[in-house]
């Protein structure tokens, strides 16, 4: 029985997205014996998708509601029946070592519920920019090398949840993404999990490649889109909010008001 | 009683001790002041193997301030008797064996009158001439046998001291060096004799590969033996730079742990050198090799079977049982030779007595 569901949220499909989607799906093909790909998308997108892979088991979760990233992922998690799930963004890809390294670490660390890979951040041309999640292994950075704890998270925010392997029931128990938190929803989730005693560690292998600031991506729009751009004050507000909201399992009403 | 009869009696007693294995093998050892030293562990291993197999072996030290090795080697050697030259006033007999490391060449004159079997122990050929009086030979002091650790070292010694009988006993690579049952961590084990080189390698690595600043270097010095092996097996690669090395224990320990070695080939190439690691003659290439290997490891690239097999093959001649047999065989040959020479002397004395 397959034990991992890969959640791939897709809010639209066009020529550019088709290329990205094929690339993302291809990166999973070597894992076909172990993973189910769940594509969460609106009905019109689902109708445009076919023959994505000969090898992979693909299920579709039609989303007729809000197609924001967090809503799509939360819907996927709520429908997930496997022991573990991971998130694959449409413009990203898994690296070949991901499954093998995750499996090894799952076996060796049965008390750990979240495994983050070292993420290779690249630009749209594929040029290396930096690694993410790797700092957990830096000597003296965290209390226990390889692990990310709440104390460290309060000082360092730059962790990437896409590509991470989450134990499904633990994530459901602790609450999922809070879609009303802009920018720092991943950070808030990690803070909440660690606050609740969930062990998170980084697998020291480059398991996931993330395209940084692709034009029109969510984080690009926070920085560059005139309509959705966040001011410095708002960035600070969402960071501070994450640090306050992680005490609560479910989302609360929060709204940024420009002072 | 005539002098001859007295000597015959003494020789018979010596012969009896040799035949009953109640003679003593002394290993002259220096005090590391609690600092781990592979060269001293090697001496203790020789003594330990002999003792375990019924030979009376003792560690011979200068005085009672000797600190021992339990601090960094644990309790394994606690039953080996330690005797001091100054306080214990030991009497080394004709049937005994005295093993003197090369760095104690300054005492050769003092022991020249002792008539036991005398053996030079050469682990570091560069130390041979440090204190040996200019122009003198070991044989001048009664040392006609040598134990060394490698074929190349034997070759070198035989060119300088062709009259010596040279035996090779490699160090024991203990079984606590074994692959970890856990996955390797982003740690690099580093062992450089020269601390300046050590610092340069680490600094250069972090400057050339700033994206790898989170990868930890583990300085493999000042560690107890158990701690050392535990730390080594966690690493995904080890770096070895030691131009003065004669044997090269660290790379073999690393290979036995399944940790590949990136190393500078020392001026005296180790006997075991082959395609069993990533080797260069150029120290300046080490950082680049290390960076490339680290990035490949992070991507999940695994060592080729060829290198893994070479690593295993390299270790075959250095198995614990082979080396133990080798130690026993070498010291047995000393014993047999001494029995033979005592018998010859006895025959001679008996003939003289009957004439």
Domain CATH code at residue B199: 3.40.50.2000
- Are residues A145 and B216, on separate chains, in Cβ contact within 8 Å? yes
Q: Which residue of A has its CA nearest to B214?
A: A138
Please give, rounded to a whole number of angstroms, the shortest distance from the CA of B181 to a CA of chain A: 9
B195 & B150 share domain: no
The residue of chain A nearest to residue B215, with distances taken between CA atoms, is: A138
Question: Is residue B134 within 8 Å of residue B60, measured between CB atoms?
Answer: no
- B215 shares a domain with B163: no
Q: All domains of chain A, ordered by start, with CATH?
A: 4-245 (3.90.550.10)
Q: Tell me, yes or no, whether B74 lies in a domain.
A: yes
Sorting pLDDT into bands at 50, 70 and 90, what band is A124? confident
**Residue B177 in domain:** no
Residue A204 has its nearest CB partner, among B182, B186, B211, at: B186
Question: What is the torsion angle, in degrees rounded to the nearest 10, for the CA atoms of residue B65, residue B68, residue B70 and residue B75?
Answer: -120
pLDDT at B313: 93
Q: Which of A119, A142, A156, A204 to mutate to test the interface with B (most CBs of B within 10 A)?
A: A204
According to DSSP, the β-strands at B56-61 and A147-148 are unpaired
Residue A258 pLDDT greater than 80, yes or no: no
Asked if B299 lies within 8 A of A205 by C-beta distance, the reply is yes
Rounded CA-CA distance A219/A231 in Å is: 13
The per-residue pLDDT for B132 is: 85
Give the pLDDT score at A231: 80
pLDDT in tens, A16-52: 999 999 999 999 999 999 999 999 999 999 999 988 9
| Cβ atoms within 10 Å, residue A144 | 10
Q: Is the pLDDT of residue B260 over 80?
A: yes
Say what the pLDDT of residue A255 is: 83
Q: What average pLDDT does this structure show over B171-186?
A: 93
Gap from A174 CA to chain B (nearest CA, Å)? 29
Q: Tell me how far apart the alpha carbons of residues A72 and A40 are, in angstroms, rounded to a whole number.
A: 6
Which of B:190-249 have CB within 8 Å of A? 211, 213-216
User: 3-class SS at B193?
Assistant: coil
Residue B2 has pLDDT above 80, yes or no: no
The reply to whether residue A204 touches residue B185, judged by beta carbons under 8 angstroms, is yes
CB B318 within 8 A of CB B327: no
pLDDT at B1: 54
Query: Residue B325 pLDDT more than 90?
Result: yes
Distance CA A240, CA A232 (A): 12
Average pLDDT over residues A42-68: 94
- The range of the structural domain enclosing residue B239 comes to 185-317
* pLDDT of the residue at B131: 82
- One domain for residues B303 and B212: yes
Contact status of B183 with chain A (Cβ, < 8 Å): yes
What is the DSSP secondary-structure string of chain A?
Answer: ---EEEEEE-S---HHHHHHHHHHHHTTGGGTTTEEEEEEE-HHHHHH-----SSSEEEEEE--S--SHHHHHHHHHHH--SSEEEE--TT-EE-TTHHHHHHHHHHH-TT--EEEEEEEEE-TT--EEEEESGGGGSTTTSSSTTEE-HHHHHH------TT-EEEHHHHHHH----TTS-S-HHHHHHHHHHHTT--EEEEEEEEEEEETT-TTSHHHHHHH-TTTPPPHHHHHHHHHHHHHHTT-SS---------
A152 to chain B, any CB pair closer than 8 A? The answer is no
Residues 6+ apart with CB under 8 A from B262: B237, B238, B239, B240, B277, B278, B279, B286, B289, B290, B293
Higher confidence at residue B353 or residue B221? Answer: B221
Mean pLDDT in chain B?
92
Query: For residue B58, is it within any domain?
Result: yes
Give the residue among B175, B168, B191, B194 at the shortest CA–CA distance from B271.
B168
Contact A49, A71 (CB under 8 A): no
Residue B180 lies in a domain: no
Site from A117, A134, A159 to mutate, B interface, most B CB atoms within 10 angstroms: A134
User: Is the Cα dihedral A149, A154, A155, A161 positive or negative?
Assistant: positive
Same domain, residue pair B9 and B94:
yes
Is B346 strand, coil or helix?
Answer: helix
Separation in Å, CA of A136 to nearest CA in chain B? 8
Q: Which residues of B touch A100 (CB under 8 A)?
A: 300
What is the percent of chain B with per-residue pLDDT over 90, rounded to a whole number?
72
- Four-residue CA torsion sign, A222, A226, A232, A238: negative
Chain B residues near residue A130 by CB distance under 8 angstroms? 211
- Give the pLDDT score at A259: 67
CB-CB under 8 Å, A128 with B211? yes
Mean pLDDT across B58-73: 92
Q: How far apart are CA B310 and CA B276, in angstroms?
A: 5
Is B227 domain-assigned?
yes
- CB-based contact (8 Å) between B300 and chain A? yes
For tokens 């997930």, the residue is: A80
Six token digits for residue B235 = 């690493």
Residue B334 and residue B240 share a domain: no
B143/B13 same-domain check: yes
B190/B104: higher pLDDT: B190
CB contact under 8 A, B214 and A145: no
Instruction: Report CB contact under 8 Å: A105, B183.
Output: yes
CB B211 to CB A205 under 8 A? no
Looking at the domain assignment, is residue B175 inside a domain?
A: no
Q: Which residues pair with A147 in a beta bridge?
A: A201
CA dist B22 and B6 (Å) reads 21
Q: In the block, which residue shows the tokens 């730079």?
A: B241
Residues pairing with B66 in the sheet: none
Asked if the Cβ–Cβ distance from B216 to A141 is below 8 Å, we say no
Question: pTM here?
Answer: 0.89
Check whether residue B313 and residue B328 sit in a common domain.
no
For every residue of B233-297, DSSP letters joined together read HHEEEEEEE-TT-SS-HHHHHHHHTT--EEEEPPSS--TT-SSSSEEES-GGGHHHHHHHHHHHH
Give the one of B186, B211, B299 whose C-beta lies nearest to A97's C-beta.
B299
Q: What is the pLDDT of residues B274-298, one digit of tens each?
A: 899 999 999 999 999 999 999 999 9
Same domain, B148 and B68: yes
Residue of A nearest to B236 (CA): A204
Q: How far apart are CA B242 and CA B39, in angstroms?
A: 14
Do B139 and B36 reside in the same domain of the chain? Answer: yes
Q: B312 and B325 in one domain?
A: no
A160-200: pLDDT as tens digits = 999 999 999 999 999 999 998 888 999 999 999 999 999 99
Rg (CA), chain A: 17
Beta strands in chain B, from DSSP E residues, in sequence order: 24-28, 56-61, 81-84, 97-101, 117-122, 143-148, 165-168, 185-192, 216-219, 235-241, 261-264, 278-280
Report whether pLDDT(B347) > 60. yes
Which SS3 state, helix, strand or coil, does residue B58 take?
Answer: strand
Residues B19 and B94 in one domain: yes
Mark yes or no for CB contact A95/B299 under 8 Å.
Answer: yes
Kindly report the nearest CA distance between residue A134 and chain B, in angstroms.
7
ipTM beyond 0.90? yes
pLDDT at B126 over 90: no
User: Hey, what are B35's tokens?
Assistant: 């600092």
Look at the alpha carbons of A130, A132, A134, A139 in this order and tell me if their dihedral is positive or negative: positive
Please answer yes or no on whether A137 and B213 come within 8 Å at the CB atom. Answer: no
Complete DSSP assignment for B208-239: H-GGGTTSEEEE-SS--HHHHHHHHHHEEEEE
Give the CA radius of gyration of chain B: 23
Residue numbers in B near A95 (CB within 8 A) = 299-300
Count structural domains, chain B.
2
CA gap A79, B309 in Å, rounded: 47
Averaged pLDDT, A72-95: 97
Give the residue from chain A lying closest to B210, CA to CA: A130
List B338's β-bridge partners, or say none: none
Say yes or no: B72 and B29 in one domain.
yes
Backbone torsions φ then ψ of B238, nearest 5 degrees: -130, 150
Q: Select from B181, B183, B231 the residue whose CB has the most chain A CBs within 10 Å, as the one to mutate to test that interface.
A: B183
Question: Is the residue at B45 inside a domain?
Answer: yes
What pLDDT is stored for residue A236 in this prediction? 87
| Residue contact B214–A128, C-beta within 8 A | no
Q: Is the pLDDT of residue A201 over 60?
A: yes
């Amino acid at each position: 029985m397959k034990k991992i569901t890969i959640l791939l949220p897709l809010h639209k499909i066009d020529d550019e997205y088709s290329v990205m989607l094929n690339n993302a799906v291809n990166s999973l093909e070597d894992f076909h014996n172990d993973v189910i790909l769940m594509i969460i998308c609106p009905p019109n997108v689902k109708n445009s998708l076919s023959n994505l892979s000969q090898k992979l088991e693909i299920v579709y979760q039609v989303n007729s509601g809000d197609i924001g990233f967090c809503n799509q992922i939360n819907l996927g998690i709520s429908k997930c029946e496997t022991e573990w799930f991971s998130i694959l963004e449409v413009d990203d890809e898994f690296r070949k070592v991901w499954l093998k390294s995750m499996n090894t670490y799952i076996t060796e660390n049965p008390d750990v519920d979240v495994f983050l890979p070292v993420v290779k951040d690249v630009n749209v041309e594929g040029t290396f920019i930096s690694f993410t999640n790797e700092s957990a292994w830096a000597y003296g950075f965290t209390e226990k090398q390889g692990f990310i704890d709440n104390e460290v998270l309060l000082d360092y925010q730059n962790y990437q949840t896409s590509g991470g392997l989450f134990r499904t029931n633990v994530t459901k128990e602790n609450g999922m993404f809070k879609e009303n938190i802009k920018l720092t929803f991943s950070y808030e989730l990690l803070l909440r999990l660690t606050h609740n005693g969930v062990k998170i560690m980084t697998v020291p292998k480059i398991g996931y490649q993330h395209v940084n600031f692709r034009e029109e991506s969510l984080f690009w729009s926070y920085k560059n889109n005139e309509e959705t751009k966040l001011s410095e004050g708002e960035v600070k507000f969402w960071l501070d909010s994450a640090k306050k909201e992680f005490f609560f399992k479910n989302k609360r009403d929060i709204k940024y008001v420009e002072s | 009683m005539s002098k001859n009869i007295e000597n015959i009696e003494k020789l018979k007693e010596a012969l009896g001790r040799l035949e009953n294995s109640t003679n003593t093998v002394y290993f002259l050892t220096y005090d590391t002041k609690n600092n781990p030293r592979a060269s001293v562990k090697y001496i203790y291993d020789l003594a330990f193997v002999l003792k375990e197999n019924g030979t009376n072996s003792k560690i011979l030290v200068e005085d009672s301030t000797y600190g021992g090795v339990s601090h960094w080697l644990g309790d394994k050697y606690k039953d080996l008797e330690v005797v001091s030259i100054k306080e214990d006033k030991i009497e080394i007999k004709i049937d005994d064996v005295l093993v003197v490391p090369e760095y104690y060449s300054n005492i050769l004159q003092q022991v020249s009158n002792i008539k036991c079997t005398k053996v030079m122990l050469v682990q570091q050929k560069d130390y041979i001439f440090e204190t040996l009086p200019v122009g003198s030979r070991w044989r001048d002091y009664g040392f006609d046998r040598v134990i060394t650790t490698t074929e190349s070292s034997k070759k070198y010694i035989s060119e300088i001291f062709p009259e010596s009988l040279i035996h090779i006993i490699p160090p024991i690579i203990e079984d606590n060096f074994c692959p970890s049952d856990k996955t390797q961590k982003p740690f690099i084990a580093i062992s450089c004799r020269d601390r300046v080189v050590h610092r340069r390698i680490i600094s250069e690595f972090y400057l050339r590969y700033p994206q790898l600043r989170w990868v930890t270097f583990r300085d493999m010095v000042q560690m107890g033996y158990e701690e050392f092996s535990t730390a080594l097996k966690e690493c995904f690669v080890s770096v070895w730079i030691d131009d003065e090395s004669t044997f090269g224990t660290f790379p073999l320990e690393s290979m036995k742990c399944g940790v590949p070695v990136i190393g500078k080939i020392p001026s005296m190439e180790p006997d075991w050198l082959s395609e069993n690691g990533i080797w260069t003659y150029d120290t300046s290439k080490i950082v680049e090799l290390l960076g490339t290997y680290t990035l490949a490891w992070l991507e999940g690239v695994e060592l080729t079977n060829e290198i893994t097999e070479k690593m295993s093959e390299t270790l075959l001649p250095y198995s614990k049982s082979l080396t133990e047999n080798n130690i026993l065989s070498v010291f047995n040959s000393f014993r047999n030779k001494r029995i033979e020479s005592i018998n010859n002397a006895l025959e001679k004395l008996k003939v003289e007595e009957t004439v």
